[in-house]
Structure 1
């Protein structure tokens, strides 16, 4: 068995930020990434995805996002940025390494890999994100629906749906962005349980993220105060609100049933439907902690206090939604939580 100081599970934005922070704290982390490159889930997002935060507010600690700081980077720019960031880290990053289990082992942990390998680590940071666990709500008739059903995690672009009748379920940024894109060449609707909430992208000539940062709201430790974190509004420069206003796509109250290849709307009307896209979010993807007693709750969500496991000293989480603040699971904010996790682990290892 290989013995290491700290293992970081996940080589995306959270894992890379965690590795950077651990190195800064004087530790030698090993980063284990399932895919073939240290960019996490970003290469698998839909083709047209564009950040809602400018480049100047979308960087990890220690390396600015290059180019025009006021532009909104596309998916491939983020992938290139993360790849370059990883190449500069003084950390042992191993791709193609899927972790299947973490087990308590004396004063540390045993990390088991799918290929049969094992590592003994004194500390572990779970930073595997949520892309691997897309949320599929229990919609009436969904399992028997004869049309195509896919989650936003599997959506790449509008071309396969040209000329079709498509419904996108969801009221967040991705749902609105995908529905508006589909509406150019498809008959697309956005189905939501409540009207879409918009937030202005610019206020007084500045991007919203400038105000969130300058007021301190972006990093305020609100996570522990919120029993049910609020759903974020759709950030909009005016185009998405205009698209819904003109019906491209149209927004409708949630349908009441799917039956064969038909959808029944709240007003009782029915129509044939070709495809349903679920832009319904994600849940933390931590299957490798299932056998670590007390690490997860019955629903598979991590038990933690601002990122620290109460049941297992030496186990930290990084990149959880509202882990500590509004920006905890974002490029701009994950570094703050990673730094705190690294400080706690360094202190823990010094004591043990």
Structure 2
């Protein structure tokens, strides 16, 4: 692996305010609920620049119906995989933060947090990675491991640009309190859309607007959580990603509440609106209705603008061009944490370790021959 380790060139100032640091507790970005966590691997790289993230323990998760906040006092920084391997519950946020902290502490890699990569460029020997603070790192290989959920996806919806009411993405949703008594439309048919719509319906008048039917799958099967069966049957790691031209829609995990809530009309379920003007939406039946707010629970995309200077690394929409994590047009560039990169679990903590090990070997082999 020595041939794959990047060499460092330091050209930027050190010690300035905002310089990269390694805090005690790496931040955790909220989004989908964390999956059961893999054991720490032994393969590392020498330089990793991690993006800026909130570092506050005990913050309320973005998905409050599936993750419960807890105080930092309940999370021991020495917690490891065995303590989080209960597949019949989702770990609390602070448990995952503590796990990641322990993972970092056990690694011999140099880890920089509070950094933002501004650009990656091709050089004769490999790549130059430029950080916002001015530092530059040189490497023979680069792995973009920032995953799938960095950029909230805001699709083009009919009339949305003409709508003058409040529009926010699910990434910015925190609680139903600001929407009490208001008329709200939630757009989407996935887990976040259904969870947010059901929660809002307790205090607001809510419609869940979708392009297609909402599909459910039971959270528990034969007394065990669905993730237990995905792992036990091997479906979690089956290399099916190579056969998919695009990731399939994910069904809503239902513990009994969500299907029942939609059946009871709390929230109301309607086809997506066909237009908008001012504070009114136009429904497919021609009805025009005043709406206070639209919540876009329309998913996420990889956030990789720093790769824009690598010709062929990204497609026209900014998504990575790759095959099972290896860039198809840029030798030495790879990705980790993408949705269906190789398997169902590729974009989760329980699956990313397997993909990372495979990527490390595939990058190291050609470098060792140089």
Q: TM-score, normalised by structure 1?
A: 0.85
**Is 1:48 the counterpart of 2:64 in the alignment?**
yes
**What is the root-mean-square deviation in Å for CA atoms of aligned residues?**
2.9
**Is 1:154 the counterpart of 2:172 in the alignment?**
yes
Conservation of the 8 A alpha-carbon contact between 2:313 and 2:320: yes
CA offsets, 1:74-128, max 9 Å, x none? 4444344333433333221111211011111122110011122111112211012
Alpha-carbon offset, residue 232 of structure 1: 0.8
**Is 1:5 the counterpart of 2:5 in the alignment?**
yes
Conservation of the 8 A alpha-carbon contact between 1:308 and 1:341: yes
* Change in CA separation of 1:319 and 1:36 when aligned onto 2, cut-off 3 Å: closer
In 2: Cα distance, 1:43 partner to 1:347 partner: 42
In 1: Cα distance, 2:92 partner to 2:229 partner: 22
Aligned pair partner of 2:82 in 50, 64, 75: 64
The aligned residue for residue 49 of structure 2 is 32
Alpha-carbon offset, residue 146 of structure 1: 1.2
In 2: Cα distance, 1:203 partner to 1:171 partner: 22
Aligned pair partner of 1:174 in 181, 192, 199: 192
Conservation of the 8 A alpha-carbon contact between 2:152 and 2:171: yes
* Change in CA separation of 1:37 and 1:92 when aligned onto 2, cut-off 3 Å: farther
Conservation of the 8 A alpha-carbon contact between 1:180 and 1:248: yes
**Is 1:73 the counterpart of 2:91 in the alignment?**
yes
Aligned to 1:81, what secondary structure does the other structure show? Answer: helix
Alpha-carbon offset, residue 351 of structure 1: 2.0
**Is 1:280 the counterpart of 2:298 in the alignment?**
yes
**Is 1:336 the counterpart of 2:341 in the alignment?**
no
In 1: Cα distance, 2:121 partner to 2:203 partner: 50
In 1: Cα distance, 2:311 partner to 2:335 partner: 16
List runs of 5+ in structure 1 lacking aligned partners.
53-61
- Give the number of equivalent residue pairs: 331
Conservation of the 8 A alpha-carbon contact between 1:38 and 1:86: no
Alpha-carbon offset, residue 343 of structure 1: 1.5
The farther-off stretch of 278-287 and 342-351 is 342-351
* Change in CA separation of 1:45 and 1:107 when aligned onto 2, cut-off 3 Å: farther
List runs of 5+ in structure 2 lacking aligned partners.
8-25, 69-79
Aligned to 2:82, what secondary structure does the other structure show? Answer: coil
* Change in CA separation of 1:227 and 1:168 when aligned onto 2, cut-off 3 Å: same
The aligned residue for residue 208 of structure 2 is 190
Aligned to 2:322, what secondary structure does the other structure show? Answer: coil
In 2: Cα distance, 1:179 partner to 1:322 partner: 27
The farther-off stretch of 28-37 and 109-118 is 28-37
* Change in CA separation of 1:87 and 1:163 when aligned onto 2, cut-off 3 Å: farther
In 2: Cα distance, 1:344 partner to 1:239 partner: 45
The farther-off stretch of 29-38 and 281-290 is 29-38
Alpha-carbon offset, residue 69 of structure 1: 5.1
**Is 1:214 the counterpart of 2:237 in the alignment?**
no
**Is 1:351 the counterpart of 2:369 in the alignment?**
yes
CA offsets, 1:192-242, max 9 Å, x none? 111200001122222211221122111111111111331010011111001
In 2: Cα distance, 1:284 partner to 1:276 partner: 23
Counterparts of 1:222-237 in structure 2, within 5 Å, are 222-237=240-255
Aligned to 1:337, what secondary structure does the other structure show? Answer: helix
Alpha-carbon offset, residue 300 of structure 1: 1.5
In 2: Cα distance, 1:266 partner to 1:80 partner: 49
Conservation of the 8 A alpha-carbon contact between 1:12 and 1:128: no
In 2: Cα distance, 1:87 partner to 1:329 partner: 23
Alpha-carbon offset, residue 156 of structure 1: 1.2
Conservation of the 8 A alpha-carbon contact between 1:197 and 1:233: yes
